[in-house]
Amino acid sequence: MNVQEILQAAKQASVACGTASLEVRNDALSEMAYALRTEVDSILAANQTDMDAAREAGTKESLLDRLMLDEARIYDIADALEALRDLDDPLGVVSVDRILDSGVHMQRISVPMGVVAMVYEARPNVTADAAGICIKTGNACVLRGGSMAHNSNLAMARILHDAAVATGMPENCILAVETTDRSATDELLRARGLVDLLIPRGGAGLIAHCVENATVPVIETGVGNCHVYIHDPADLDMARNIVLNAKCQRPGVCNAIESILVDASIAEDALASLLPALHEAGVILHTDALASTAAAKAGIPAVMAVEDDWAREYLDLEVAIKCVQGLDEAIAHVNRFGTKHSECIVTEDEAAAMRFLAEVDAAAVYWNASTRFTDGGEFGLGAEIGISTQKLHARGPFALEALCSYKYVVCGTGQVRG
Amino acid sequence: MNVQEILQAAKQASVACGTASLEVRNDALSEMAYALRTEVDSILAANQTDMDAAREAGTKESLLDRLMLDEARIYDIADALEALRDLDDPLGVVSVDRILDSGVHMQRISVPMGVVAMVYEARPNVTADAAGICIKTGNACVLRGGSMAHNSNLAMARILHDAAVATGMPENCILAVETTDRSATDELLRARGLVDLLIPRGGAGLIAHCVENATVPVIETGVGNCHVYIHDPADLDMARNIVLNAKCQRPGVCNAIESILVDASIAEDALASLLPALHEAGVILHTDALASTAAAKAGIPAVMAVEDDWAREYLDLEVAIKCVQGLDEAIAHVNRFGTKHSECIVTEDEAAAMRFLAEVDAAAVYWNASTRFTDGGEFGLGAEIGISTQKLHARGPFALEALCSYKYVVCGTGQVRG
């Protein structure tokens, strides 16, 4: 099927997806998990084809690691489908229930979006995550994964589709775009009336392309230029722990920090504690004038920061450090350079914390805790399909609830408007 | 100020808008209402300039009526601002409150969007409705009204702005685009990072232009190709009442119906009751073959419907009538031609009603009640800034809640992720 045929088929399937009982949807998730475990060999064979081609093309190791599947990873993916099965039904939730003045009975009830399109890059696990969350929320699902993982994605999508259909979900409930042609993504982006929601998952380039070219509704995800701000007064041991965790625990993810702001009034002590620890952890330091002086004094190598550093998402063991004249400058800096993802203040001053939490414009704002907690699992959502950096519909980590809309259901006995 | 300057100013104002206390926001609404009443003469003078120019340009009466302000209308607009003041605070509402496994305290709290841009056509009352709802929800507001109402809009925006600032809202909380240049709209549509939400209000052309060209988040509003479906068995008197109300009470609005579907098995009786009543009400009938026969038999003039009629939004005393072979065809027709606005089934069969309510994809679905109830006031929202026909973020009539986002606020004592 070409993209238009896939979308038409998904649209048609979406009605039956949305009215499938919870039992059928949950059975499908069980069967999908079972099928992944049973067919692990064929998935691994498809993945091997992708891995060989990627290696031949000289793909770097970190990307190969994202692409690679093994039995343990496939079992983890299957476990995640079973975890979805065990979550409460997101559909049919009544959020408003009212008898109107006219006597009609009005309810606002959660319903599926309809057709959800997922555009993503090298990680083949997104295929199963997206398919699973769509099944649970009664959405038809159109998958458009990266060309590097094409064989892995098609193999998994076929297995997941067949398992879901075998347990009573409609034909075409899960469909993968079969071509690696880049124009397929643009067709999805502009399929008004056929795609009810498009979610891009991947690097900044992919996300910007989707947001700038989509005419269908989009949830913008993932780019994270996050900060820790060390305010005066702060517990400097706590500040160092939080910075090290937020920067080093997993530097390639979007909730890792990219800049540290330090009140100039405590910069000397704060940096004397911080710079050696970061250096020891292998972090390259991009420092402003004051922080450069502190680094030199401590005999620690540092690069003089340039204006671009405040906006850079290193996604690596690098960090920018800037000294600020207090809370106002810190908030202004974060609101100027941040990407509305996750922002932290370390302080012993509650009033300052309250101002930071209120005035910083981000999906998640932290007082004395690591930005690394911004995660669907950590936040108790039971799943995660992305982390939204926009404010429309879903913000921060999102999962089942964000893949639902609602409708007003109004029942009367012949009432008309006066 | 040019559009970029306006957006920068609004963005800067948005932080203080969002942290203004409920008391300050409510005082602003009171003062805005008072100022409109006090300055009614200057508003009417500005409106007279617009009316004169519109008359000279040969604008048709129905549009002139939308443009026209008089003392009574301005007082109504002021009353609406006071009604907003009396609604509960939409900000600071805690929707999730949880101690996470790590021991940090996480809350999901409603916050303003930031900068809301409103793009609208001839109705100058939208200026005050949008400004008021933005003040209540702590958003900075950028208004871009139609050129025909330019003087009216600028006069009202200035008065509303000055009143809000006088009671403690920040300078630039309410700004109107000062040029009538059409490129200003496109600048708003593409102001990523400066516009957090754009709402178009107007005809199908304006809305399509905004949705197709926006790179900022948009809520699509208002186009309504709505249906009443008369199912067998139905109470035909009830069906006639609902059809007449939904078609004739206010034919120019989006929740009025444009097509009637009738089960062929009861078409003879149903149309014998319906066609004379519609004809008497002055409604032009576009009928399919079976309905044309019924019209001829009753001696009532009718035009043979063409395929285009099923998709037409007449917004006038015209309706298309089609006979269908039962529920499946009716649901398929509505899902194909409807605009996801408001859809009604008239039936005495509860099972059929349940299927229609579940399977029709629309913001509001009705059983035995008029589609005209789709309205923020009727639904008890206390206000209305538009009726959304998309499924992302807001669906159906929307008001305060839709102009808010949320943020996750996480407080710890030094926790880091393990």
Tens-place pLDDT, residues A80-137: 999 999 999 999 999 999 999 999 999 999 999 999 999 998 789 999 999 999 999 9
- SS3 category, B36: helix
Distance CA B242, CA B238 (A): 6
Going by pLDDT thresholds of 50, 70 and 90, the confidence category of residue A63 is: confident
Q: Which long-range contacts (CB under 8 A, 24 or more apart) does B86-90 make?
A: B87/B136, B87/B382, B87/B383, B87/B400, B89/B22, B90/B136, B90/B137, B90/B400, B90/B401, B90/B403, B90/B404
Residue at token pair 């285009």: B308
User: Considering only CB atoms, which chain B residues are within 8 Å of A101?
Assistant: 378
pLDDT at B4: 96
Shortest CA gap B39–chain A (Å): 33
Between positions 227 and 256 of B, the ones with CB within 8 A of A are 235, 238, 241-242, 244-246, 249
pLDDT at A60: 87
Chains A and B: how many Cβ contacts under 8 Å? 207
Touching check for A416 and chain B: CB below 8 Å?
yes
A378/B415 CB distance under 8 A: no
Q: Among candidates B1, B4, B402, B393, which has minimal Cα distance to B188?
A: B4
Burial of B65 (0-12, 13-18, 19+ CB in 10 A): exposed
Q: What is the ipTM of this complex?
A: 0.94
Distance CA B333, CA B303 (A): 20
Q: Is the peptide bond before B124 cis (omega within 30 degrees of 0)?
A: no
Distance CA B313, CA B224 (A): 7
pLDDT at B5: 97
Touching check for A410 and chain B: CB below 8 Å?
yes
Walk across the sheet containing B174-176 and list its strands. B174-176, B140-144, B115-120, B197-201
Instruction: State mean pLDDT over B28-40.
Output: 98
A374/B408 CB distance under 8 A: yes
A408/B113 CB distance under 8 A: no
Tell me, what amino acid is at A99? Answer: I
B416/A18 CB distance under 8 A: no
Shortest CA gap B52–chain A (Å): 34
A125-136 and A71-85 are packed helices; what angle lies between their axes, rounded to 10 degrees? 10
Q: Which of B140-144, B205-209, B329-333 has the lowest mean pLDDT?
A: B205-209
Instruction: State mean pLDDT over A370-384.
Output: 93
Check whether A246 has a pLDDT greater than 90: yes
DSSP symbol at B103: S
Of the candidates B15, B217, B365, which has its C-beta nearest A392's C-beta? B217
Tens-place pLDDT, residues A219-234: 998 788 999 999 999 9
Check whether B71 has a pLDDT greater than 90: yes
Distance CA B220, CA B55 (A): 31
β-partners of residue B221 are B388
B100/A380 CB distance under 8 A: yes
The torsion angles phi and psi of B303, rounded to 5 degrees, stand at -100, 140
Residue pair B404/B110 in contact (Cβ under 8 Å)? The answer is yes
B179 or B374: which leads in pLDDT: B374
Of the candidates B104, B212, B244, which has its C-beta nearest A215's C-beta? B212
Check whether A243 has a pLDDT greater than 90: yes
* Element of type H or E holding A97: strand A94-99
Q: Which two tokens stand for residue B42?
A: 């200057």
Average pLDDT, whole number, for chain A? 96
Residue pair B148/B54 in contact (Cβ under 8 Å)? The answer is yes
pLDDT at A252: 85
A353/B411 CB distance under 8 A: yes
CA–CA–CA angle B128, B134, B137 (5° rounding): 140
Walk across the sheet containing A342-346 and list its strands. A303-304, A284-287, A318-324, A257-263, A226-230, A342-346, A364-369, B404-415, B105-112, B94-99
What's chain B's Rg over C-alpha atoms?
24
Average pLDDT, whole number, for chain B? 96
Touching check for B95 and chain A: CB below 8 Å?
no
pLDDT at B182: 84
Check whether A265 has a pLDDT greater than 90: yes
B289-298 and B267-280 are packed helices; what angle lies between their axes, rounded to 10 degrees? 60
B392/A197 CB distance under 8 A: yes
Between positions 202 and 221 of A, the ones with CB within 8 A of B are 211-212, 215, 217, 219
Tens-place pLDDT, residues A272-306: 999 999 999 999 999 999 999 999 999 999 999 99
Residues in chain B: 418
Could you write out the DSSP letters of every residue in A103-126? Answer: S-EEEEEEEE-SEEEEEE-S-THH
Task: Answer positive or negative: Cα dihedral of B208, B209, B215, B220.
Answer: negative
CA–CA–CA angle A144, A145, A149 (5° rounding): 150
Q: Among candidates A308, A193, A357, which has minimal Cα distance to B410?
A: A357
pLDDT at A256: 95
A392/B393 CB distance under 8 A: yes
Q: How many CB atoms lie within 10 A of CB A52?
A: 11
pLDDT at A107: 98
| CB contact set of A124 (below 8 Å; sequence gap of 6+) | A47, A50, A67, A69, A145, A149, A152, A153, A156
Q: Which two tokens stand for residue B349?
A: 């069969």
pLDDT at A80: 95
Going by pLDDT thresholds of 50, 70 and 90, the confidence category of residue A62 is: confident
Selected residue of B339, B408, B413 to mutate for chain A interface (largest A Cβ count, 10 A):
B408
Check whether B51 has a pLDDT greater than 90: yes
Distance CA B32, CA B39 (A): 10
E-strand stretches of B73-209: 94-99, 105-112, 115-120, 140-144, 174-176, 197-201
Tens-place pLDDT, residues B178-231: 988 889 999 999 999 999 999 999 888 999 999 999 999 999 987 889 999 999
- SS3 category, A413: strand
Check whether B115 has a pLDDT greater than 80: yes
pLDDT at B264: 98
* Element of type H or E holding A404: strand A404-415
DSSP symbol at A386: E
Residue pair B310/B261 in contact (Cβ under 8 Å)? The answer is no
pTM, rounded to two decimals: 0.93
Touching check for B102 and chain A: CB below 8 Å?
yes
Check whether B311 has a pLDDT greater than 80: yes
Touching check for B21 and chain A: CB below 8 Å?
no
The torsion angles phi and psi of A234, rounded to 5 degrees, stand at -135, 155
* Complete domains list, chain B, with CATH: 3-220+390-411 (3.40.605.10), 226-373 (3.40.309.10)
**Pairing of β A404-415 and β A105-112:** antiparallel
Selected residue of A366, A410, A415 to mutate for chain B interface (largest B Cβ count, 10 A):
A410
Distance CA B393, CA B196 (A): 13
**Pairing of β B140-144 and β B174-176:** parallel
A370/B18 CB distance under 8 A: no
Going by pLDDT thresholds of 50, 70 and 90, the confidence category of residue B253 is: confident
Could you write out the DSSP letters of every residue in A234-266? Answer: --HHHHHHHHHHHHHSSTTSTTSEEEEEEEGGG
Q: Is the peptide bond before B397 cis (omega within 30 degrees of 0)?
A: no
Touching check for A277 and chain B: CB below 8 Å?
no
B415/A15 CB distance under 8 A: no
User: Considering only CB atoms, which chain A residues are within 8 Å of B407?
Assistant: 362-365, 395-396
Check whether B122 has a pLDDT greater than 90: no
User: Considering only CB atoms, which chain A residues are within 8 Å of B15?
Assistant: 335, 359, 361
pLDDT at A61: 85
DSSP symbol at B307: G
**Pairing of β B284-287 and β B303-304:** parallel
Q: Among candidates A54, A69, A85, which has minimal Cα distance to A148?
A: A54
